[in-house]
Amino acid sequence: MFDLFRRRDKAVRYLLGVLLGLVALSLVVTLIPGFGASGAPREQLVAQIGEEPLTVREVQTTLQSALKGKQIPQEMVQFYVPQLIDQMITERAVAFQAARMGFKITDVELANAIRSMLTQYFPTGDIDQQAYQRFLSSQGLNVTEFEKNVRQNLLLLRLQNIALEGAIVTPSEVESEYRRKNDKIKIEYVKFTPASDLKSKVAVTPEEVKTYYSTQKAQYNTPEKRSFHLLFANEQRIGANFEVPEQELRAAYNSSLDKYRSLERVRARHILIKADDKNKDDLAKAEAKASNLLKQIRGGADFAKLAKENSEDTGSGAKGGEMDWFARGQMVAPFENSAFSMKPNEISNLVKTQFGYHIIQVLEKESAKTKQFDEVKNEIATERKRESVFNRMQQAMDQARAELVKAPQNAQQIAAKHNLGYHKVENQKKGDPLPELGNSAEVDNAVTGLRPNEVSPVFQLGPNALAVTEMIQVSAPRPAELAEVENEIRDKILSQKAQQLADKQMKDATDK
């Protein structure tokens, strides 16, 4: 058994450790579903590991120790208890299995471990038995249970160390590893040419193509195809030489001054001591505490540190009392009036609000201001140009569509007249890429269902373009002619023959 744990392969040792844990857990023969439901609560059985019981009293003792040591907050107890029980069962099961495998903790090892654990309470290392018992009793423990738990933990630790650390490597293991790394074998192999590289070694005749086509004709069909005129407008075409007059820009600025006006605002930090307005004693205590903090701050104490330790505003307290920028009308009146009356870095007196007492420090302050026209001229020009260009695009497309309905044969001339993009698209299958535009689901949707000479509505083409189509011809789906699929069939037969040749070469080589 111990040879397994001497394996130098860490992955193997980790796996053995996990497997040992699983085996140990299989020893948990009793787990009471009604834990805490009936019986004497402190002696009720939670689980039984081999012959070893785990009682409610032991769980409660461990839980009380964790609470006493502030390892877990009181409000998290209900979530912690199931995890604690699982942990105690696992530790005891693994320790039990370790003992069955022959691992033992001697009395000397136990005594040394306890002496090390209690150094803080017995610095000299001399532990009087009565003092030892009194100390354990003060912790809610008795000697027997405490020493049993320590022994189990030492077993568990020893097993983990053996599973995760290398142990002794024997000479035979060294020799075996040397041979594994240095012994060589002789391999005979044959190099094969991939089928894809053998196409030049085979040929396909026209008769083979015809025969394949005649027997597989049902596989080859030509989908519906459409030919149509496509006219489109985009910002680059319509707005290339378009400039918005400055007079129009100034008019837009004057009509939207509120957009460019910023209000007076303040960035501050504060300490809040909450108080109940209807409780005089509560108010007095809160005021006294806030006054003491204010005195410390005026004496040079760190505002942020005091805020973290004392502020009852949970949102800002953790940040040293710092708040986001705020304008007038965003805070309760007493707080706002105080903050806006102060200069940067100034500390307020106590400020009473419906929430309690505040100490405020202004960090930054910005006056109300309005951006000048020159500051926002380019921004306005960009917005106005986009609006104007889109309106021009819409107007041009509406006019072009009206003319296209009357004279579809003049599609190209109509596009040129209105400075629109134009393509005559022929034999287009759904999903095929379009010239200049690539794949376009919008165009596919627009032409679907159109009959010859019909014109689509104007439609959006991507984020910055509009388009319209006029149908020329629709070709219904039909069986493909040999000439249309001849190359496809030839390539398919060529690949099949190349694969057959590759298979033959491999068989011939392996049969030798």
317-328: per-residue pLDDT in tens?
A: 999 999 999 998
The mean pLDDT value of the chain amounts to: 79
**Tell me, which fold does domain 264-367 have in CATH?**
Chitinase A; domain 3 (3.10.50)
- Domain 225-240+389-476 grouped into CATH 2.60.120.280: no
Q: Which of 230, 256, 231 is nearest to 387 (CA)?
A: 256
Residue 363, φ and ψ in degrees, nearest 5: -95, -45
Segments of the chain assigned to CATH 1.10.4030.10 = 2-162
Q: Which amino acid is at 398?
A: D
d(CA 406, CA 428): 24
The residue whose two tokens read 């009473």 is 352
Please report the pLDDT score of residue 363 as a whole number.
Answer: 96
Task: Give me the half-sphere count of Cα atoms (radius 13 Å) on the Cβ side of residue 149.
Answer: 15
> Residue 7 contacts by C-beta under 8 Å, 6 or more apart in sequence?
13, 16
Query: Nearest 10 degrees: CA dihedral of 390, 391, 394, 396?
Result: -110
Q: Which CATH class is domain 2-162?
A: mainly alpha
Please report the pLDDT score of residue 283 as a whole number.
Answer: 93
Average pLDDT over residues 261-273: 92
d(CA 384, CA 386): 5
The single-letter DSSP state of residue 481 is P
d(CA 293, CA 389): 62
Whether the CB-CB separation of 303 and 361 falls below 8 Å is answered with yes
Helices (H), 420-481: 441-447
233-248: per-residue pLDDT in tens?
A: 887 777 656 677 888 8
Segments of the chain assigned to CATH 3.10.50.40 = 225-240+389-476, 264-367
pTM for the structure as a whole? 0.38
Please report the pLDDT score of residue 33 as a whole number.
Answer: 42
